[in-house]
Amino acid sequence: MELVDFLCAEEAGRWRPINDGVMGGVSQSQMVATEQGCCFEGVVSLENGGGFASMRRPLVLPEGCRALRLTLRGDGNSYQLRLKMDGLCDGVLYVAGFATQPGRDEVIELPLSEFEPRFRGRTVAGAEPLDENRVEQLGLLMGQGQSGPFALNLYQLTAVSQLQSS
């Protein structure tokens, strides 16, 4: 089931940046509509104790969702897909990382069971498990010690109800 169609002209406007400026950093990001979808782009700087750029948008997962499948063109950087069970700006996020290949179209499948609870970059011991029925936000983050320009071209995000057997 399609959750986000990045080809939709209005999609880029649904995303809001939350960058390291909240803690004194100078990283920048934006979601830009392109002819091929949307592009999460910007520059991550480690100056002033910073080091991340992120975007968020509201999102509700369908009942029975077991994984998220992201169709994209990478730039060689690693990213995080982030889910939040409330609409607040701060708090526990459920995070799954993925690496990209530069200039290649890819399909990344992230089982919800692999999303780890984090708060401000640190694992949260004893956090409640991710409940797909309570998810209210979707996010993307570039950082984790990486710095410099980035551009992640996004085409589609779908909900997967049945996981592939390996």
Q: How far is CA 101 from the centre of its chain?
A: 17
Diameter of the chain measured on Cα atoms: 45
User: How much is the pLDDT for 90?
Assistant: 75
Domains of the chain with CATH codes: 2-156 (2.60.120.430)
> What span, in angstroms and rounded, lies between the C-alpha atoms of 46 and 91?
23
Residue 145 pLDDT exceeds 70: yes
Instruction: Give the Å distances, CA to CA, from 150 to 20, 40, 84, 102, 108.
Output: 15, 8, 24, 11, 18
- pLDDT bin (cut points 50, 70, 90) of residue 160 is very high
pTM over 0.75: yes
